[in-house]
């Protein structure tokens, strides 16, 4: 075949349009195989359409291309492309052809109307450009254009995957401060935002702002600052977002601003004010933003639609339904004209019309409208995208008001879990759906369940918005009414708080023994210890401290248990606890184990004395505390156990002591305990620290080698140490080999050496199974007798060492 192609090339060169035909052929060798290559790709190098048609006909005659679509497009087979590329490389023309191809593709991607295959051709071209360092600089903006085009085509998963790999490549090839690298990081953050992955987007935008501060122009810094502030708002971190907006907008008014980026910041700032209940102020700002945006709009600027939507929401909050509908209809019309019928901003305006219908009490029409919008969103967005969840949350409200409680509860529980997993518990949308669940329980007559939910929502709203926000006040009003209703009907749940208030020590003991949370907050942020100290129940105070109560936690008024205490005995006890923590932090450990009633007490961050002693690497005191009854499994508010601390400090001796202190029944949960924020285990910590000895120690005690954190990262993905990565990868390979029945697994096992063999045979997979259990479950031919032989050798080695 190669000879035939070379002969065809030689023959084409002799023809009238041969030079143009060969140029098209050579360029096409670097485009995506078996995909339509449109003739307008070559409009910059072909003067007339007739030339293009004649050139393609010539290539067709020699069977080098196949023509489709009435001769407006053609395809090349992969085998032919490969021969052409080899030929070009041999004659030294490859770089020359790539230099011509780069601007051709970039120009097509910049155009608004493009064929879907252009981006595939660009992706293909980039794989060959990467071989030439000087061409990487020339094509530096091409990766960002590819990602932007993938976004426009709603190929978001492809956009994210390519952006991530392109960013890694650009950082290595051009450096983290190069404009193309920063541009790609901007683009990656935008893709994350579009996908609704706000936790990752906030992290990326924060990193980007820090880099922009070092490397970028003022305009680029403004863009990254806007992006970071917006993601903070999406995560309901309003107190962190406010100073960023104040920095962006400065002392100017909206009508003094003509910079597009700053107007975007004003728009987002008004959205924040809306969420915080400052609706009149938000409406005033947004009306001015719309006026100024008309002056600086570009054809693809979506912020006219966005600002109109936000203005409508401000009017809706003020119950001005006519103005809200007017602006939403204008936003929807403008969205269809500028952005398209299925563009997310167009659909958001349509969804908000459903929201207005809800507020007006037209529940049937609202449900119909929202159902249509939900179906449209599902056509263009991934499953569980925040826009789909938001629409479903509005559908829940309609169903509740129509009395369809079972259906409403079913959707609510699904949406709540989806929000909580993606955004976290302390977030506006998550709490709003949880509030809906409380409303459903209330209407179903499930008062105790409703009260519990409303209390949790109240605490969440206090943390997010503060106690004086209108949403917080609404939930508090509901709780007050329910509290009155519960008393008059004689219904009162037997909570730990109630038992503590009444001074019923036996009931307190019973509840805690049945797993009641000793640090559970009520809707005022008060914990059982607050009630016990306020009411002077010193025996209960001692018991709560013994069971791990946080001695200095504050309620929503900022009061600690000590501040509420009356009587010298109570105050002296709590002061002594504070002094004990102070002494431990300073390394003064005299008589610590003699104070048995305080052995498990915690501070406001949930750290116990054991946490602090492990942090200070006090090995002997760790043993004494454990012998005295200290709980090794205790965790902080962020989910850090003493084992996490030991791993972070690379203290293997203390880690061994902790691991040996728990029962075999509890060992699996203990060694694989996850932090609450990121979901990291001690093995994640050890791997990230590149601590091979700690990794071996944890695996030997049954740590799961492939356990993912909340970002989906396994321990091996966090390590930059080759020795750590090799151990974890060989563990993965062994589990996979036993799972798949690989007959050569025995050779791999025997090559490990005794110490590593002990580690991998005790390690577990994410299903909690050891190698032996996986082998037995899959009836692997590597027999139990052979395992026993390996273990015998291992035990013999251990005896020799001892």
pLDDT bin (cut points 50, 70, 90) of residue 114 is low
Token output for 420 = 């909580």
Domain range 1-259, its CATH number among 1.10.720, 1.25.40, 1.10.260, 1.10.600: 1.25.40
Query: What is the C-alpha R_g of the chain?
Result: 33
| CATH 1.25.40.10, the chain: domain bounds | 403-489
Residues of the chain with CATH 1.25.40.20: 493-604, 605-662
Beta carbons of 649 and 686 less than 8 angstroms apart: no
CATH level 3 topology of 403-489: 1.25.40
According to the model, what pLDDT value does residue 615 have? 92
Q: Give residue 725's pLDDT band: very low, low, confident or very high (50, 70, 90).
A: very high
Name which residue leads in pLDDT, 72 or 663: 663
Domain 605-662 classification at class level: mainly alpha
For the record, the structure tokens of 175 come out as 């450096």
Q: State pLDDT tens for residues 139-185.
A: 777 777 777 766 666 666 777 777 777 777 767 766 766 666 666 66
The whole-angstrom separation of Cα 765 and Cα 738 is: 12
Q: Report the distance separating Cα 670 and Cα 769, nearest Å.
A: 16
Is residue 512 over pLDDT 60?
yes
What is the per-residue pLDDT for 671? Answer: 95
Give start and end residues of each alpha helix (H) in 404-504.
405-423, 428-443, 447-465, 470-489, 496-501
Residue bearing tokens 């997993």: 421
Encode 649-709 in three state secondary structure: CCCHHHHHHHHHHCCHHHHHHHHCCCCCCCCCCHHHHHHHCCCHHHHHHHHHCCCECCCCC
pLDDT digits (tens, 9 = 90+) for 342-351: 888 899 999 9
- Which is more confidently placed, 159 or 215? 159
Residue pair 483/475 in contact by the 8 Å Cβ criterion: no
pLDDT band at 490 (very low <50, low <70, confident <90, very high): very low
- Report the CATH fold assignment for 493-604: 1.25.40
């Amino acid at each position: 075949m190669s000879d035939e192609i070379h002969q065809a090339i030689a023959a084409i060169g002799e023809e009238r349009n041969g030079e143009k035909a060969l140029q098209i052929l050579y360029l096409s060798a670097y485009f995506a195989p078996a995909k339509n290559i449109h003739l307008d790709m070559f409009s910059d190098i072909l003067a007339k359409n007739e030339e293009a048609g004649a050139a393609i006909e010539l290539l067709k005659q020699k069977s080098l291309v196949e023509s489709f679509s009435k001769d407006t497009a053609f395809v090349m087979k992969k085998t032919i492309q490969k021969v052409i590329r080899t030929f070009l490389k041999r004659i030294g023309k490859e770089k020359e052809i790539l230099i011509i191809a780069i601007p051709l593709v970039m120009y097509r991607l910049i155009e608004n109307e493009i064929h879907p295959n252009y981006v595939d051709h660009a992706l293909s071209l980039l794989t060959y450009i990467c071989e030439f360092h000087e061409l990487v600089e020339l094509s530096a903006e091409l990766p960002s254009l590819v990602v932007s085009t993938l976004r426009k085509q709603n190929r978001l998963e492809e956009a994210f995957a390519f952006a991530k790999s392109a960013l890694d490549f650009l950082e290595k090839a051009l450096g983290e401060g190069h404009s193309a690298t920063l541009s790609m990081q901007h683009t990656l953050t935008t893709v994350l935002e579009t996908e609704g992955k706000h936790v990752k987007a906030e992290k990326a935008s924060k990193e980007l702002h820090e880099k922009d501060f070092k490397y970028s122009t003022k305009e680029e810094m403004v863009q990254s600052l806007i992006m970071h502030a917006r993601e903070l708002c999406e995560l309901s971190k309003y107190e962190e977002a406010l100073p960023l907006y104040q920095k962006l907008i400065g002392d100017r008014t909206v009508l003094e601003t003509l910079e597009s980026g700053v107007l975007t910041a004003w728009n987002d700032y008004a959205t924040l004010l809306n969420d915080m209940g400052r609706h009149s102020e938000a409406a005033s700002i947004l009306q001015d933003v719309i006026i100024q945006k008309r002056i600086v709009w570009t054809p693809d600027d979506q912020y006219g639609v966005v600002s109109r939507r936000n203005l409508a929401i401000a009017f809706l909050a003020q119950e001005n339904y006519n103005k809200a509908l007017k602006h939403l209809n204008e936003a929807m019309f403008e969205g269809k004209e500028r952005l398209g019928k299925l563009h997310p901003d167009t659909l958001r305006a349509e969804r908000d019309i459903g929201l207005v219908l809800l507020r007006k009490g037209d529940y049937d029409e609202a449900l119909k409208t929202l159902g249509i919008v939900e179906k449209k969103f599902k056509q263009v967005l991934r499953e569980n995208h925040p826009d789909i969840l938001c629409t479903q949350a509005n559908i829940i409200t309609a169903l509740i008001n129509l009395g369809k409680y079972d259906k409403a509860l079913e959707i609510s529980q699904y949406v709540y879990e989806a929000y909580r997993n993606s955004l976290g518990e302390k977030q506006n949308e998550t709490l709003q759906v949880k509030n809906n669940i409380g409303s459903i329980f209330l209407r179903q007559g499930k008062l105790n369940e409703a009260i519990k939910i409303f209390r949790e929502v109240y605490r969440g709203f206090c943390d997010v918005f503060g106690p004086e926000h209108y949403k917080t006040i609404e939930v508090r009003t509901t709780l007050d009414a329910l509290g009155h209703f519960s008393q008059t009907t004689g219904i009162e749940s037997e909570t730990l708080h109630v038992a503590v208030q009444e001074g019923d020590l036996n009931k307190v003991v019973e509840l805690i023994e049945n797993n009641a949370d000793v640090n559970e907050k009520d809707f005022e942020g008060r914990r059982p210890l607050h009630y016990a100290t306020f009411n002077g129940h010193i025996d209960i105070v001692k018991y709560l401290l013994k069971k791990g109560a946080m001695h200095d936690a504050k309620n929503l008024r900022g009061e600690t248990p000590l501040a509420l205490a009356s009587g010298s005995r109570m105050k002296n006890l709590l002061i002594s606890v504070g002094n004990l923590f102070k002494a431990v932090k300073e390394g003064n450990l005299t008589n610590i184990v003699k104070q048995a009633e305080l052995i498990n007490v915690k501070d406001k961050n949930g750290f116990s004395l054991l946490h602090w002693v492990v942090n200070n690497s006090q090995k002997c005191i760790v043993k004494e505390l454990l012998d005295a009854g200290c709980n090794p499994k205790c965790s902080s508010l962020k989910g850090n156990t003493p084992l996490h601390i030991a791993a972070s400090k690379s203290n293997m001796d203390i880690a061994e002591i902790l691991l040996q202190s728990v029962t075999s029944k509890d060992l699996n949960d203990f060694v694989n305990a996850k932090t609450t924020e990121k979901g990291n285990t001690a093995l994640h910590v050890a791997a990230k620290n590149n601590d091979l000895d700690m990794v071996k120690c944890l695996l030997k005690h049954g740590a799961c080698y492939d356990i993912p954190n909340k970002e989906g990262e396994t321990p091996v993905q966090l390590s930059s140490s080759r020795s750590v990565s090799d151990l974890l990868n060989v563990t993965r390979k062994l589990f996979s080999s036993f799972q798949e029945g690989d007959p050569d697994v025995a050779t791999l096992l025997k090559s490990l050496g005794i110490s590593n063999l002990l580690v991998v045979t005790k390690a577990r997979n994410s299903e909690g199974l050891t190698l032996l259990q996986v082998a037995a479950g899959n009836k692997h031919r590597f027999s139990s007798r052979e395992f026993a032989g390996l273990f015998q050798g291992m035990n013999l080695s251990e005896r020799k060492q001892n």
